[in-house]
Amino acid sequence: MTDTNTYDLIVLGGGMSGLPVALKSAHHGLETALVERDLLGGTCLNRGCIPTKTMIRSAEVAHLARRADEFGVTIDGEIGTDMEAVVERQQRVVESIREGAYSNVEDADELDLIEGRGVFESATELAAGDRTLTADRIVLNTGARPVEPPIDGLDEVDTLDSTSALEASDVPEHLAVVGGGYVGCEFAQMYARFGADVTVFQRGDRLLPAEDPDVSDVIEDAFEVEGIDVQTGTAVEALESTSSGVRATSGDADGIEVSHVLVAAGRRANTTVSASKTLAWRSTTGVSSRSTISSGPRPTRSMRSGTSPARRCSRTRPATTPTFCTVTSSTAKRSTPPSGSFPTRCSPIRRSAASVSLNGKQKSRDTTWRSVGATTPNRGNRKRWVKPKGS
């Protein structure tokens, strides 16, 4: 049996949100454990903001070099891209920042870095590496991963995602980008500037749907000027390998043949309710159930619809509130709210261990307890700590 190490605060996930939380906490004298299964800096530093922006800068230089004469600068010869050199530069920049992150953690007296995947053993205990950790306060900052959209043949063809697209050794001849969000748009423009033909397929009616429409208009105009083909209102429904690349089709159309496909169809939280490891859980209603929370692969449908533990929710809010949880196991009867109101006082960490009924549909809830705080419509978005069970 492993010893249990007690901390004031455990931070699960050493990305760009978990890392500063852990450093600040240690700086203020709290004994803090930071659990990271991969590299400090998470997505942003290792496969997101920093590497993309570094490569985008190289692409911008190529773009400007092609337009040099507009600036009165003459360049003799062809402007080309050495992708290996671009990627090498990107990795150098990332490594130097990452080294800084590790030395900051090393220098923080009250901070222990625990390298390994954290898995909850209970609401207050986390197994990580060969240790069991416990704290009154546990912050989940486990980030997100790319979504795999429902496209026929997706598993059978080689595709790029936002991580592998950062390691390309050549400029693709013709790149199809599935998804016109910020990740898809960044890579589309970057590879177009490196010299690829690029087609962006966007299911919605405009690029960057999370932004205001005038932002989408500006980007679409800029893409047109740069020769990027934007197909809005077009969902790629099937991919198939051909002798020279991949055919991407939508509806009955013949589709287009491209050399490479980059799938950038959104991201989803890493936190999941998993039934792969079970433990007894006694809810406040006295009904014991079995469940655990961890971050890892998405559970199967049968896992997700398993029996649920849950705490009874007591406070109520108006029936119009879209998010609500109630238990669907044998505790359901006792926690059913009065008609016209929904229970709300499930702290996220408690809810995360529950399979819940959401607007009548059986669903598992992701663990969404984050340092930015819990959001409830009736109280606004404010920072607060919710203590885990038993603390």
Ligand X SMILES: Cc1cc2nc3c(=O)[nH]c(=O)nc-3n(C[C@H](O)[C@H](O)[C@H](O)COP(=O)(O)OP(=O)(O)OC[C@H]3O[C@@H](n4cnc5c(N)ncnc54)[C@H](O)[C@@H]3O)c2cc1C
Binding residues for ligand X, rule: CB under 6 A, are: 12-18, 35-38, 42-44, 48-49, 52-53, 117-118, 141-144, 162, 183, 270, 295
For 256-281, the three-class secondary structure string (H helix, E strand, C coil) is EEECEEEECCCEEECEEEECCCCCEE
Measured from the CB atom, is 255 or 366 closer to ligand X? 366
Measured from the CB atom, is 118 or 172 closer to ligand X? 118
Cβ of residue 51: shortest distance to ligand X, in angstroms?
Answer: 8
Nearest to 91 by CA among 122, 50, 147, 151: 50
How far apart CA 101 and CA 135 sit, in angstroms, is 24
Measured from the CB atom, is 289 or 295 closer to ligand X? 295
Query: DSSP for 195-221?
Result: T-EEEEEESSSSS-TTS-HHHHHHHHH
Measured from the CB atom, is 52 or 289 closer to ligand X? 52
Structure-block tokens of residue 2: 């492993």
Contacts of 199 (CB under 8 A, 6+ apart): 174, 175, 176, 177, 228, 229, 230, 231, 256, 258
Cβ of residue 269: shortest distance to ligand X, in angstroms?
Answer: 9
Query: How many CA within 13 A on the CB side of residue 247?
Result: 10
Cβ of residue 78: shortest distance to ligand X, in angstroms?
Answer: 29
Cβ of residue 131: shortest distance to ligand X, in angstroms?
Answer: 13
In the chain, the amino acid numbered 244 is S
In the chain, the amino acid numbered 103 is S
Cβ of residue 180: shortest distance to ligand X, in angstroms?
Answer: 14
Nearest to 362 by CA among 318, 306, 320: 306
Please say whether the beta carbons of 327 and 308 come within 8 A: yes
Strand-pairing partners, residue 177, are: 200, 262
Measured from the CB atom, is 66 or 145 closer to ligand X? 145
Instruction: Determine whether 169 is exposed, middle or buried from the number of CB atoms within 10 Å of its CB (0-12, 13-18, 19+).
Output: exposed
- Residues for the chain: how many in total? 391
How far apart CA 170 and CA 389 sit, in angstroms, is 52
Cβ of residue 98: shortest distance to ligand X, in angstroms?
Answer: 11
Measured from the CB atom, is 142 or 231 closer to ligand X? 142
SS3 331: coil
Cβ of residue 115: shortest distance to ligand X, in angstroms?
Answer: 9
Cβ of residue 80: shortest distance to ligand X, in angstroms?
Answer: 25
Measured from the CB atom, is 249 or 270 closer to ligand X? 270
Measured from the CB atom, is 202 or 270 closer to ligand X? 270
Measured from the CB atom, is 250 or 270 closer to ligand X? 270
Cβ of residue 327: shortest distance to ligand X, in angstroms?
Answer: 25
